[in-house]
A and B are shown apart, each in its own frame.
Chain A
Amino acid sequence: MTKQVRQLDRVVIRFAGDSGDGMQLTGDRFTSETAQLGNDISTLPNFPAEIRAPAGTLPGVSSFQVHFADFDILTPGDAPHVLVAMNPAALKANLGDLPRGATIILNTDEFTNRNLAKVGYAANPLDDGSLDGYAVHPVALTSMTVKALDGQAISKKDAERAKNMFALGLLSWLYSRPHESTLAFLERKFAARPELVTANVTAFKAGWAFGETTEGFAVRYEVKPARQQPGNYRNITGNTALALGLVAAGVRSGLPVFLGAYPITPASDILHELSKHKKFGVTTMQAEDEIAAVGATLGASYGGALGVTSTSGPGVALKGETISLAVALELPLIVVDVQRAGPSTGMPTKTEQADLQMALFGRHGEAPVAVVAPRSPADCFDAAIEAARIALTYRTPVLLLSDGYLANGSEPWLLPDVTGLPDLRVEFASEPNSPDGFMPYLRDPATLARPWAIPGTPGLEHRIGGLEKADITGDISYDPTNHDFMVRTRAARIEAIQVPDLEVEDPDQTARVLVLGWGSTYGPIGAACRALRQRGLPIAQAHLRHLAPMPRNVDDVLRRYDRVVIPEMNLGQLAQVIRARYLVDAIAYNQVRGLPFTASELEFMLEELVKNA
């Protein structure tokens, strides 16, 4: 039958199911198909820390949200237009996020009395009228998949597991997605088990065919490609982009990259990704603990490598003493903190921005470091290169503050021209720098960096350490004046780092309210500001990539506006720094729910401020 095709400008779909239902994979594949089509996309995976929570329970629900549009978008979307719920738990856990009128596609096979009871449904929501406000499509996903695979040489369990591909086939049909890449993907994924290739491909095609033939779906949708800058694109998560940025920094500096890491959510994928790229001279070491990871990294830096350690907040806490040593040694070191909800173990798979002050101040003694934060998944690539630039040029530890939302979220990435990336080549010391011999703490007057004299260089044998050093000679010194001078010099070193000015987006030039952000809040803040401007309400947005040192024009920018508001996924850490440093009465707007801000809640909050400014 011929179906009506309706054009949409944007759609938000959330795939939700049990941890074992393959929802992350399904979401990934849908995203990839969508990217191929040329829509702009933004994704938000959301999964429990448990590998397999008890089946069918609320804690076991895993979801993947994808927002795609024919225009440029900034967030994974506030509320889904479509929910695919593979079981009652997935429905119950996600229904609250759905606006009335949203589409719900349910796997009816899982709506058994037992499964309903497991999540506290007294009555079946399919029958009790509680879903009346939604466009509900009950589909027997499991049994139709099993039926489609009838006669294939696979177990019943494997047949049932293919139901996510049936669902993907159905959604791919519904939104007119190209499916060639998914079929090729299945060939690759199950190459070792051809029977599973056949089963999953069959399930996908059965889902597609079901959409075409069933009367349950009368309308099919299209979302046209977005107008994007010409070039080659790929879809990328923050962790992958960050890892590739480090590989690129190795290539552009000509230095071997050394990554020391201990497994930790949500940072482990950086270790996984970098371990694949040995041919670029990347060495990865899974250390015995977080402290060893940063220690080995610092040892590699001392030897002339680009040393990187990747972790999350609990790991940064453990690494603090070694980072402080790196401050004293004045060696390059990149510490990646993929922030997660704390304190303590907190919520490992959920996002937060509450490590900012730890990054800035969380060490013993006056131990200043540079702090850089990416703003979007693809931006993690550039931020990693920027962290390397600062570390190598200024011989300092750099804290690179990503977060769980950036790490696992994805967006299209306009692939850069490699030869246009920053030149990061460094010069090791090769000869004595004074008539009296080699002076390890004699600084470059422009950068205040000391020479990087790596072991193996004849004539420059010297000793460094954590004890306070005399200026210039680096000898141990307990002299009060020298200590005061060295503490101030280490602070001045960070302040001397050249960083670009803070850019302000204020298209109307009439705004009286400035929203200042940092890190992953860029998307929702930007989307909220756009929405306000479209409604004729002027607002300015500025986003800090450099938290230490801050750009030199921050003071000027802040003073240009009547009100400054700082939304953060913490209890006001940047706001406190801004207030203290610039004596500006900044308003802190805070949420720590383990989830990114929605654009609409920011829009609502900002609207009040703009109207009352």
Chain B
Amino acid sequence: MPDAKNVERAVTTAPIALKLTAKDFKSDQEVRWCPGCGDYAILAAVQAFMPELGIPRERIVFVSGIGCSSRFPYYMDTYGMHSIHGRAPAIATGLSTTRPDLSVWVVTGDGDALSIGGNHLIHALRRNVNLKILLFNNRIYGLTKGQYSPTSELGKVTKSTPAGSADSPFNPISLALGAEATFVARTIDSDRKHLQSVLRAAAGHRGSAFVEIYQNCNIFNDGAFDALKEPATRDDFTIRLEHGNPITFGRNAEWCVIHPPGGFGLEVRRTAEVEPHEIVTHDRTVAEPAYAFALSRLPGEDLRHSPIGVFRAVDRPSYDDLVRGQVAAARARLTGSPEEELTKLLNSGDTWTIM
């Protein structure tokens, strides 16, 4: 008989010996993104990564909102919900809070997460709910055919902004850090190895893990991240964050990041022009979000100096763990059967008897 117990199974974080492969995570649904879409690469990377989790398929849930990226759950042979625009973090919060035995993933896009669902995103991050949030950022509205998004650059000319957009974009990493997210990372659709390394770190994090994935929309915003992908520019434009290593980049590490005396933020310099001890060593465990925030401010409008990797990974109690702790502590005080306790509850307060 199903009862409360079967939704209160203990969390099993230890990998179970399962013989799953990427193929086991492919659903029978035909994938219907545009040919050439960056989403294909992300889907393949995620499907290939999933067996590493060591979690049986039935305990993995993908929840999405609305947009191209939000079709993602249909293609994963796990449990999944394609919900409504912007609300996936809220729905996933309720699921994660009541079901500690599940691994809950949110798939969202820049419009879904940062425009219509902005409130739910920041509150999920603030609460540090056990969720892995994958934000596919293509800096455009694809499913509605090409309007500018909250991450589109100022002046973006689109169908809805023929004279150029007049609003400044969000920096998703800065926004997540502003909400004091405990795990914040960025990766790129085309770099499968890096993408999977970030997924691995996110999966191992207790609390909300926020992963921005730069994703190319080849129909409405093609080449948005080419500067980070083209051999001619990528080394000078991309900063690969590695925990415990000095932050240098460029083909021959000719660039580095320093914290200039008297300044508030971080700056890029030529490695040859600074003392080695001046180079910032990346530490994703810095408690104060200001450090990771400063990293998030490095890129210019042309994406030059875009850090990728894990900006921040710190420990903070998660909302769902705390809430379940309160419920469990209260339940431990139950002395009688639920029916007996309910009878006591109904008969509490000022009661009287009519004979």
Q: How far is the CA of A465 from the CA of B80 in the complex (A)?
A: 8
- Do A456 and B91 have beta carbons less than 8 Å apart? no
Chain B neighbourhood of A426, CB < 8 A: 2
Answer yes or no: A476 CB below 8 A from chain B CBs.
yes
Q: How far is the CA of A202 from the CA of B1 in the complex (A)?
A: 58
Distance in angstroms from A221 CB to nearest chain B CB is: 20
Which parts of A240-267 form the interface with B (CB within 8 Å)?
244, 247-248, 251, 254-256, 258, 260
Chain A neighbourhood of B302, CB < 8 A: none
Q: Mark B80-97, 1 if CB is under 8 A from A, else 0.
A: 111110010011111111
- Do A295 and B351 have beta carbons less than 8 Å apart? no
Which parts of B1-50 form the interface with A (CB within 8 Å)?
1-4, 6-9, 27, 29
Tell which of A231, A278, A307, A418 touches B343, judged by Cβ atoms closer than 8 Å.
A418
- The number of residues on chain B lying at the interface, defined by a beta carbon within 8 Å of a beta carbon of chain A, is 68
Chain B neighbourhood of A325, CB < 8 A: 83-84
Q: How far is the CA of A277 from the CA of B58 in the complex (A)?
A: 31
Residue of A nearest to B91 (CB): A299
Answer yes or no: B273 CB below 8 A from chain A CBs.
no
Tell which of B102, B351, B354 touches A303, judged by Cβ atoms closer than 8 Å.
B102
Which parts of B54-111 form the interface with A (CB within 8 Å)?
56-59, 61, 63, 66, 73-74, 76-84, 87, 90-99, 101-102
Candidate in A35, A288, A321, A425 with the most chain B CB atoms within 10 angstroms: A288
Answer yes or no: B160 CB below 8 A from chain A CBs.
no
Candidate in B3, B91, B329 with the most chain A CB atoms within 10 angstroms: B91
Which parts of B321-342 form the interface with A (CB within 8 Å)?
323-324, 326-327, 329-331, 333-334, 338-339, 341-342
- Do A302 and B95 have beta carbons less than 8 Å apart? yes
Chain B neighbourhood of A291, CB < 8 A: 87, 90, 120
Chain B neighbourhood of A427, CB < 8 A: 1-2
Chain B neighbourhood of A230, CB < 8 A: 354-355
Answer yes or no: B119 CB below 8 A from chain A CBs.
yes
- Do B341 and A458 have beta carbons less than 8 Å apart? no
Chain B neighbourhood of A475, CB < 8 A: 29
Answer yes or no: B264 CB below 8 A from chain A CBs.
no
Which parts of A219-244 form the interface with B (CB within 8 Å)?
225, 228-235, 244
Distance in angstroms from B32 CB to nearest chain A CB is: 9
Answer yes or no: A416 CB below 8 A from chain B CBs.
yes
Binds B, one of A48-56, A146-154, A279-287: A279-287
- Do B2 and A416 have beta carbons less than 8 Å apart? no
Answer yes or no: A322 CB below 8 A from chain B CBs.
yes
- Do B342 and A466 have beta carbons less than 8 Å apart? no
- Do B350 and A36 have beta carbons less than 8 Å apart? yes
Answer yes or no: A514 CB below 8 A from chain B CBs.
no
Candidate in A35, A234, A282 with the most chain B CB atoms within 10 angstroms: A234
Chain B neighbourhood of A281, CB < 8 A: 4, 327, 331
Tell which of B3, B66, B91, B354 touches A296, judged by Cβ atoms closer than 8 Å.
B91
Distance in angstroms from B108 CB to nearest chain A CB is: 13
- Do A254 and B7 have beta carbons less than 8 Å apart? no
- Do A465 and B99 have beta carbons less than 8 Å apart? no
Which parts of A407-422 form the interface with B (CB within 8 Å)?
415-416, 418-419
Q: How far is the CA of A38 from the CA of B352 in the complex (A)?
A: 8
Residue of B nearest to A240 (CB): B349
Answer yes or no: A464 CB below 8 A from chain B CBs.
yes
Q: A285 with B94: in contact, given A295-B87, A466-B82 (CB under 8 Å)?
A: yes
In the A-B complex, the 10 residue pairs with the smallest Cβ-Cβ separation, listed nearest first, are A465-B82, A299-B94, A295-B90, A296-B94, A278-B330, A299-B95, A254-B3, A299-B91, A292-B90, A455-B79
Given A258-B94, A279-B330, A299-B96; 19 other pairs, CB 8 A cutoff: A38-B354, A231-B354, A234-B347, A260-B94, A278-B330, A279-B334, A280-B342, A281-B4, A285-B97, A288-B120, A291-B87, A292-B120, A303-B102, A329-B81, A415-B346, A418-B342, A427-B2, A455-B61, A461-B58
A–B complex contacts, Cβ < 8 Å, 18 sampled: A38-B352, A233-B353, A254-B1, A255-B3, A279-B334, A283-B98, A303-B98, A321-B84, A322-B84, A428-B2, A455-B95, A455-B99, A456-B7, A456-B102, A463-B27, A463-B76, A464-B80, A465-B83
